Amino acid sequence: MNTVRTRALAALHGLAIGDALGMPTQLLSRSDITGRFGSIEGFEDGPADHPIAPGMRAGTVTDDTEQALLVARLLIEGDGHIAPDRFAVELALWEKQMAAKGSADLLGPSTKRAIEAIAAGDSPLETGKYGTTNGAAMRIAPVGVATPHEPLDGLLDRVVEAGLVTHNTGLGIASAAAVAATVSAGVAGAGVGAALDAGQRAAEAGAVRGHWVAGGDMAARIAWARAHVVGRPEAEVLDFTYDVIGTSVASQESVVAAFALAQYLADDPWKAVRLAAGLGGDTDTVAAILGAMLGACHGTGAFPAEAVTTVREVNGIDFESLADDLLALRGR
């Protein structure tokens, strides 16, 4: 039987599983992925010539999960809040640690720019005013686990805190709010359709927070994408997602792509994340967001037990303790 805890666990499992499935395919074109791997049926090693993940072990997570774990830790240490200056320090430290390991999977463009501005003396309250890419959305799932989606303003406040340093724009906040609210509604027991509706409402409300930047409205794009995929053949949906929505680091593309696939494959989380991993572009982020959202809605059985075991053992993640600590915040 599903409980709040099993759904929270499945959200965290889905985040890591989607991320690890997309690790060897990120930044590759859809045709290149097909030529190298065929269809994605499970975890694969990073190809030796991969620009970011050369030779990485199958099942290894990327910056999406690692930064989500950072958000989770700071939430827990901060009793549900994240201090902007602390977040900036921790992100910069994380990148240094990754670079020391020889990793090329470092900070995304918006986050990188913000951290460099802080290092130059700018206030963390100002550095996120140009961040529009998907970095805030990719790491926001722990906020959704730890925070009820109603009242919405309370969730939005936590989303803004988690993205203030790097993505303090209407687009950045709207995209992260959409993911957080979907995860939160799923953890609370909502089905996929209702949870995606909650995410769409959060995107609309979040768009008026932060600094204004030009770009397509997140809630409107989510609504359009969800409506378009209903009843379509699978091949047409995948073409539409890759060619029309887009799968780049732009939040209006990758986050919307995750919502489109969640709508289309609402009843099959495992297939959904595997298709996302084979889609091309920012595959690890699309699949991670998708896995977190569908995992939260499905709970127990959302993903194969062997996939959960793989990401736990390969990455040394204690999902159970993490879920318990985040849910302790939710209950306050």
Numbered residues of the known binding site: 62-64, 282, 284-285
Q: Where are the alpha helices (DSSP H) in 164-265?
A: 170-187, 192-206, 218-229, 234-240, 251-264
**Which residue type does 274 have?**
R
> CA-CA distance, 134 to 248, in Å (whole number)?
9
Which one, of 256, 278, 225, lies nearest residue 18 by Cα? 278
> CA-CA distance, 146 to 182, in Å (whole number)?
13
Token pair 């993911």: residue: 179
User: What token pair was written down for 321?
Assistant: 């303790």
User: What token pair was written down for 249?
Assistant: 């680091």
Q: Which residues contact 71 (CB under 8 A, 6 or more apart)?
A: 82, 139, 140, 142, 143, 162
Residues making up the annotated binding site for Mg(2+) are 62-64, 282, 284-285
Q: Which residues contact 158 (CB under 8 A, 6 or more apart)?
A: 80, 81, 143, 146, 147, 180
Token pair 């794009």: residue: 221
Q: Which residues contact 5 (CB under 8 A, 6 or more apart)?
A: 323, 324, 327
> CA-CA distance, 181 to 116, in Å (whole number)?
30
Give the three-state DSSP class for 211.
strand
User: What token pair was written down for 93?
Assistant: 């430290």
